[in-house]
């Protein structure tokens, strides 16, 4: 599937909301959606660093997301 031309930005509020409802495997689910739909995600480094996930998973996820300062 070709990459989508839309830009999808997840801000800190998205992750705060997901954390407040105790969403499980958030980064893994986002990776699955990106793969299935051909999305590219952009997340600021500051927001990404605040995501609660195992260290090894975060390091692997850095490859999937376009981190911006």
* Residue 1 within a domain: no
How many structural domains comprise the chain?
Answer: 1
pLDDT at 68: 62
Output the CA torsion sign for 22, 27, 32, 36.
positive
* Residue 19 within a domain: yes
pTM (two decimals): 0.56
Across 17-62, the runs of DSSP E, i.e. the strands, are 41-44
Q: What is the pLDDT along the chain (69 residues), one digit of tens a residue?
A: 566 567 777 777 888 888 889 888 887 888 888 888 888 777 777 877 777 777 776 776 666 666 666
Cβ count near 65 (within 10 Å): 20
* Residue 2 within a domain: no
Q: How far is CA 31 from CA 36, 66, 68, in A?
A: 9, 12, 18
* Residue 3 within a domain: no
Residue 57 is part of which domain span?
Answer: 8-68
pLDDT at 8: 74
């Amino acid at each position: 599937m070709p990459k989508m031309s839309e830009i999808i930005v997840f801000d800190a509020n998205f992750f705060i909301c997901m954390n407040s409802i105790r969403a499980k495997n958030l980064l893994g689910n986002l990776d699955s959606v990106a793969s299935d739909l051909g999305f590219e995600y952009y997340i600021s480094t500051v927001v990404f660093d605040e995501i609660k996930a195992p260290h090894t998973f975060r390091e692997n996820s850095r490859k999937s997301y376009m981190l911006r300062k």
